Amino acid sequence: MYSKKQSNEIFNLIQKHYLDIEKNLQQKHQRSLPFQETIIDRFDRAKILKFGENTSIYNSSFVFGEVRVGKNTWIGPNTILDGSGDYLEIGDFCSISSGVQIYTHDTVMWAISGGYHNYKKNRVRIGNCNYIGSMSIINLGVEIGNHCVIAANSFVNCNISDRSIFGGTPAKKIGEVIGEKDSLCLKYQNKTD
């Protein structure tokens, strides 16, 4: 047990260290992060979770169950990656934006039946080179192909084929990803479609 004096010294040391890191982040990157994000580097956290090379995940993200993530993937702050239902797989070169929630289970029938029914469980697979917009929710059982865009604030409860753009609640196809590498473009459907 620490004395009050020792506790204050430790607190002051931690606070000084955080303020030094904060000052450095602002000078080098014009960035200010919560305390927890300065303690463990997001790339180190990805290594601890055995995610792919050059992948990062913010400390404010929740990870449950079996979650597999490929290389060069960015997982933003305040996300939920739920692999507790079966497993969650995210490919290479993906951006999982801030606030995204991905679920492999739900408790709807369990809750409304007073525990009579079991939790519903099913895996989620997200392919390579995908962008999942902020605050989107991916439901259990969904498979998303490669080179797809999910618009912000979307609820995805269906499978999505390669090179698709989906948006809305529930998400519907609103366009396609056209071209390759340096000639890529997003082609949206006409509003009358």
Q: Quick one: pLDDT band at residue 39, thresholds 50, 70, 90?
A: confident
The percentage of the chain sitting over the pLDDT mark of 70, rounded to a whole number, equals: 98
- Cα 46 to its chain centre, rounded Å, is 12
> Where along the chain do its domains lie?
1-39, 41-174
Mean pLDDT for 110-136 is 97
Torsion of CA 14, 18, 24, 28, to 10 degrees: 140
Nearest-angstrom CA–CA distance, 156 and 140: 9
Q: Which one is predicted more confidently, 146 or 37? A: 146
**In CATH, what number does 41-174 get?**
2.160.10.10
Q: Quick one: pLDDT band at residue 129, thresholds 50, 70, 90?
A: very high
Question: pTM for the complete prediction?
Answer: 0.89
Nearest to 32 by CA among 19, 15, 16, 14: 19
Asked whether the predicted pLDDT for residue 9 surpasses 80, the reply is yes
Mean pLDDT for 155-163 is 98
Mean pLDDT for 49-59 is 97
Q: What is the pLDDT of residue 193?
A: 47
Q: What is the pLDDT of residue 191?
A: 64
Asked whether the predicted pLDDT for residue 62 surpasses 70, the reply is yes
